[in-house]
Amino acid sequence: MHMLATFSTLRFSRAGLLAGLLSLSLLGACGGNDDEDGSSAYDGTVTWTHNGQSYTSKAYASAIVDSPTKFIITAAPDGNNTQTVSLVIYNLDTRGAANYDLARGSSLSDLPIGALTLSGGSGPNGIYSTLYGPAASNGTLSVTQYDKAAQKISGTFSFTAGPTANTGAVGTQTVSNGSFSFTKFR
């Protein structure tokens, strides 16, 4: 958890932020709930479609309060971390349930971020982010319910993400039909 504390107190470049997201994604996946067989309770569920394949994550999904101003949702379909989706929302306590534009820009501007990490597959590997997307607006993140005291958050997302420098990513990747629902924050 020391890494979480360090990550939340520093300002990172875009590449550094996304590398941190990957690390948090791996932490969330490795520290996820027990198994996927339904024998234990989960914090929540994240679903999405990438390259025509639908994914659902329960055991490897987390909603993380990373700092007073940063909220992270991360999910992987399995413990192999071959694909991880991450969403970062700044100032969620202030804005609450709202529509967030996933714009191209700088992490120093505290923009909401959609990211996809691919590793170990036969296609392109690397970190893809809406900060590096092909358009001024690269998707939407809609928080339909947010109750910090009850630890509930739900919503939908879709985005097109561009390659993050020095991660091996090339081209763009699209994530669609995304949804999330959590009843416990970490």
Give whole-number Cα distances, 136 to 25, 36, 65, 160, 177, in Å: 26, 38, 27, 11, 21
pLDDT band per the 50, 70, 90 thresholds, residue 41: confident
- What sign results for the dihedral spanned by CA atoms 66, 85, 166, 160? negative
How many residues are listed for the chain in this entry?
A: 186
Residues 126-174: tens digit of each pLDDT? 999 999 999 999 999 999 999 999 999 999 999 999 999 999 999 999 9
The domain limits of the chain are: 2-33+45-182
Residues 50-92: tens digit of each pLDDT? 999 999 999 999 999 998 899 999 999 988 878 999 999 999 9
Cα 138 → chain centroid: 15
Q: Can you list the positions of beta strands (E) in the chain?
A: 44-50, 53-57, 61-65, 70-75, 83-90, 99-103, 113-118, 126-129, 137-147, 152-163, 173-182
pLDDT of residue 40: 54
Q: What is the pTM of this model?
A: 0.80
